[in-house]
Chains A and B, each alone.
Chain A
Amino acid sequence: MAGNSSSTGPSNDEAGARGDSSLPPVGKDEPAPAPPPPSVWASLTSFRGTTGRKTDIYVGIAGFAVLLALWSLATYFEWVQVNYLVSFKVVVVRLYGMFVGENVDHSFIEDIAISLYRVAAAFLLSAIMAIPLGILMSSYRIVNGLSEPIIDFIRYLPVPALVPLTVVWLGIGETSKIALLWIGTFFQLVLLVADDARRVPREYIEIGMTVGAKPRSVLRHIILPAMLPNMVDNLRITLGWCWTYLIVAEIVAARSGIGYVIMSSRRYGKVDTILAGVLVIGIIGLATDQAIRWAHRRYFAYLR
């Protein structure tokens, strides 16, 4: 474009003028050798350096490898008593045993499935309710004025403190567990969504109003797409919180779920089972987080 050509123009002229002067023509025919690209190590350790995606993945794997090595060293040299920390190998063997249903009436896969169901149901319910309410809170003072104090009040209540109430009101079935997870995420998420909507640049909204869009169209065609990338990030973060409340929910008269397995193993000091359960939650968390990040990069590529 014209902008580019005009900005490179003057610098070429300068180079020509320099060549005519008495200064020796430095690198006129052969281009100056480009400085060698910084080594991967240098780019990783320099202040605010940048690396490629592949390097990031390898470094992430290396981090896990270091953790695993420390764990193995600690168990191999028995730095920690075996009834506190069992070896990684024992945990993996135990996990296999749990999957095939050793010593228990059902496979651990069923526990994973029911926990996934609880988290998914509660999280979807939270998102479906929080997204419209959050957007309305940012759009209309009346909605914000009525709901924000209530949300702030509930938001500061510790979720475990509400366990007795949910049991009394909703019993010990799935409903009370999903309700607990919902309480833990909805009230946080709604404020985050409202904030995302408020942060949409005023200019975008005014562009809409000056091309003839009514408030409904501004919400749908401007506010929603403008806030979407940040909102997906916030959904990803609140999904993580949902998993932390899962354990709280599954202590309560549950007979299934990863949290139940972990809590019941504690009673018998089965460290291998506890660690197996923790490992599975971590892996599920890492996998969903990475999946959402991937989707973010894929669908919001226009931001880069």
Chain B
Amino acid sequence: MGNRLSFLAQLALTLLVAAFLIVPAILSMLAGVTANYFRGIRSGLTLQWVMQVWELYADTIVRSFAVALITLAVTLIVGVPAAYALHVRGDRLARAVEEIITLPLAIPGLAIALALLLAYGGLSDFRRSSLFIVAGHVVFTLPFMVRSVIAVFALIDVKTLDESASSLGASAWRRFRDVIVPNAVPGILAGSLMVVTLSLGEFNLTWMLHTPLTKTLPVGLADSYASMRLEVASAYTLVFFVMIIPLLVAMQIFADRAGRQVALR
């Protein structure tokens, strides 16, 4: 009896929390396609708000994708070789470097943005371009790419693969190209998904770094929450969900598959 009661109580709490998290999300998705939120769904479904969002904020959506992709490119070029080097060295210096690149995760985005503004605010061309935002995003997402790739290196014993390729005569670059990178692909993919998702949703840094001409989607969202009617804000949020949710699902599938591969070993 006590067991059943306790089960139901825990279930009730869990359901309440789940409702707390999901209900507003669903509300916002509905509100985005409802003609009049105040009157509710009886007022009919419409795409007018989504259209309005596109008219007002299309540039932010495009810019968010562009920033995310450029950030991804930079983290790939910088992060993958670095992950290899850090893993192969494995010494105290490597651990210190990993610490340093993970620091930006501990420091509030606000502080990092302030730091960037103080350092480069004077370079007006750079400061006014989207690349300024990319710089902030790279600092923030780099540790995810590096850690993801290092994790996969540890799993596949990349050091021994490296040694066996070198015993067959392959030079360092050749080994990197033929053996290291192809076998790191799961980590690279997982890291890439992470980087893109984080970049698309980044606000704290971006709000401080942006200019009226370099707004990203989250910045636009804050704008709409403050100044637009609920339906438009909701439609805008709906667009964001549509962008983000496939990425989240992909990451979850990836994590499951990776987990299963570990179990099979």
State yes or no: do A and B come from one complex: no
